[in-house]
Amino acid sequence: MNDGATAARWQGRWQEALILLLAALVFRFPSLGDPNLHVDESFYFMVGQAMHDGAVPYIDIWDRKPFGLFALYWLFAAFSDHVLAYQIPALLCAAGTAYILTRIARLWMSGWGPTMAGIAYLAMLHPLDGYGGQGPVFYNLLIAGAAWLVIGGWFDFDRARFMRRYLAAMLLCALALTIKQTTMFEAIFFGLAGLWRLHRDGVGAAGIVNTGAAAIAIGLAPTAALAAWFAAHGWIGEWWQAMFLSNLARQSLGLAVQTHNLYAIFRLILVFLGCAALGLVFQRSAPGFARYRGLMLGWLVAAFLGFAVIANAFTHYLLPLLVPLTPLVAIAFGKRLVGPVLFGATVVVASILGSTFDLGYYRDSRASYEAANEAIKANLEDGRLLVFFGPTLFYETADAMPMSPLVFPNHLYDPLERNVSHLDTYDELDRMIRARPEVIVTRKIYGSELDQDIRELVENYTAENCRVVWDGYLHEPRRIRRPHLVYACD
């Protein structure tokens, strides 16, 4: 009897995993192969490829993202220089995260509610720019795994087994920290929660201190190892600037703009938030949830803190909030009659907001990228390319080399990013212009986001030395098409 029940349970888990994998493929199939899904992942993949040519993050190519994210893309680039090399692992990570979240929800409920919640998580990635390889698509898997290890062992308690789960959770949090610094809030929460559970089991003060010290050591070990490596090569100042000081130096958008942005991005998850709130309202239909309510709400607060500490809000910064919200949404979706309606509404709204199934959009995006890339390649002789506005993956697909460590366009033109690195932004752009780039990619129409002196450097050079060889639209998330120009320069 027990063997039969175990077999049935494992069969159900495999079936659920396959359903979620199929759902991830359905949602992501239209965008697979598009080299210009988002400027961020275009940059990450470009860095991963450049690392195979000897480039060192923060030294040869500057950014503030932790090394673990670039290491992931270095690994993806080892298999292929096609964008599927990272888009397929991103699909698998998204499906894996959804599956773990269903396992958490099944701690207090059965039925189709958790499965529907996992599918809704996959659908919600799209309006929040998580349809490709944004960082949270990868570290959400690690944080969800840590949550499952701690929360899943909370009541089925064996001290030795829980200790193993707890320290494994700290290792997952440590790896997440090497991909995004803000995961430290969830790492701290799970770290303290695990110590509290051990205290409740009668572990004394000395045992708590020793376990806490081990958890801290595990949590900081990967970051400390990276710091030691950069220090050994004489680059600790650049690493420290990128990891910590640059975030402090980054300017704020201002209260009015920030408030508008918060409204704009939170409305994208309004339906999902509403379903999570209904899950708390309907929690009596999942009697087992009461035991986990404090843990889930604490986790949600920790995830929100990770969002709140960032100076300027962008859409994909909400992706980590989906993780603790999904098991709460499962309760609402598990409600008879109303649950399937809420599920259907969530998936439909998310698909509309995220342009998930707009096949024509992705087809045009691929075509415009390829046309611009061909124009760049046709006018390059020595590889002096400057992508002032546009996807930095052009450096790799057009066989060019960046002219400066400030490769990501925002680090050149955005006033909020000016001088946040160890390099002076104006001096660096001036040096590139004096080196006479052969091709420049930029927008046809500038907004108010450029400093005048930065703008004049590029405009004066293109007016005096360059001609337009491509005039078209490059695509951005949610059906945004921006007019861009490719200049060939004498």
Same-domain check for residues 141 and 170? yes
Query: 397 with 345, same domain?
Result: no
Among 330, 353, 376, the domain-final residue is 353
- Do 189 and 285 lie in one domain? The reply is yes
pLDDT the model gives residue 427: 96
Q: Are 376 and 486 in contact (CB under 8 A)?
A: yes
pLDDT digits (tens, 9 = 90+) for 252-296: 667 777 787 788 888 999 999 999 999 999 998 888 999 999 999
pLDDT at 5 over 80: no
- Same domain, yes or no: 399 and 271: no
Q: What is the pLDDT of residues 161-212, one digit of tens each?
A: 999 999 999 999 999 999 999 999 999 999 999 999 999 988 899 999 999 9
Looking at residue 331, its pLDDT comes to: 97
Rounded distance between C-alpha atoms, residue 485 and residue 39, angstroms: 16
Q: What is the mean pLDDT of residues 472-480?
A: 82
Kindly state whether residues 340 and 373 are assigned to the same domain: no
> Among residues of the chain, what percentage have pLDDT more than 70?
97
**How far apart (Å, rounded) are the C-alpha atoms in residues 76 and 81?**
8
User: Is 464 within a domain?
Assistant: yes
Is residue 57, in this structure, part of any structural domain at all? no
User: Which structural domain, as residue segments, surrounds residue 290?
Assistant: 83-353
| Residue that is last in its domain, among 295, 328, 353 | 353
Asked if residue 311 has pLDDT above 80, the reply is no
3-state helix, strand, coil in the chain (%, to 5): 70, 5, 25
Question: Is the domain of 390 the same as that of 331?
Answer: no
End-to-end Cα separation, the chain, in angstroms: 80
Decide if 416 is inside a domain: yes
Q: What would the pLDDT profile of 337-395 be if each residue is shown by its tens digit?
A: 899 999 999 999 999 999 999 999 999 999 999 999 999 999 999 999 999 999 999 99
Residue 211 lies in a domain: yes
Backbone angles phi, psi at 49, to 5 degrees: -70, -40
- Model confidence at 31, pLDDT cuts 50, 70, 90, reads very high
- Specify if 21 maps to a domain: no
Measured distance CA(189)–CA(169) in Å, rounded = 11
The pLDDT confidence band at residue 449, using thresholds 50, 70 and 90, is low
pLDDT band at 7 (very low <50, low <70, confident <90, very high): low
Instruction: Clarify whether residues 116 and 87 are in a common domain.
Output: yes
pLDDT band at 4 (very low <50, low <70, confident <90, very high): low
For 458-467, write each residue's pLDDT tens digit.
999 999 999 9
Mean pLDDT on 46-59 = 96
Does 364 share its domain with 479? yes
Query: How many domains are contained in the chain?
Result: 2
Cα→Cα distances 462→95, 439, 488, Å: 46, 10, 9
Q: Does 330 fall in a domain?
A: yes
- 15 lies in a domain? no
Q: What would the pLDDT profile of 416-434 be if each residue is shown by its tens digit?
A: 888 999 999 999 999 999 9
Domain match, 375 and 446 both? yes
- In sequence order, which residues have a C-beta less than 8 Å from that of residue 404 and are 6 or more positions away? 423, 428, 429, 431, 432
Contact 104, 151 (CB under 8 A): yes
Bigger pLDDT: 2 or 19? 19
Q: Residue 315: pLDDT above 70?
A: yes
> In the structure, what pLDDT confidence band is assigned to residue 1 with cuts at 50, 70 and 90?
very low
Percent of the chain whose pLDDT exceeds 90: 81
Question: What tokens were used for 345?
Answer: 């509404």
Question: 334 and 436 share a domain?
Answer: no
The chain-wide mean pLDDT, for the chain, equals 93
Residue 249 in contact with residue 109, Cβ under 8 Å? no
Among 331, 353, 375, the domain-final residue is 353
Q: What is the mean pLDDT of residues 72-100?
A: 98
| Position 390 in a domain | yes
Given a cut of 90, whether residue 447 has pLDDT beyond it is no
Min mean pLDDT across 63-77, 169-183, 314-328, 450-464 is at: 450-464
How much is the average pLDDT of 432-446? 93
Q: In terms of domains, do 285 and 365 share one?
A: no
Comparing C-alpha atoms, which of 133, 126, 134, 129 is closest to residue 346?
126
Considering the domain architecture, whether residues 293 and 398 belong to the same structural domain is answered as no
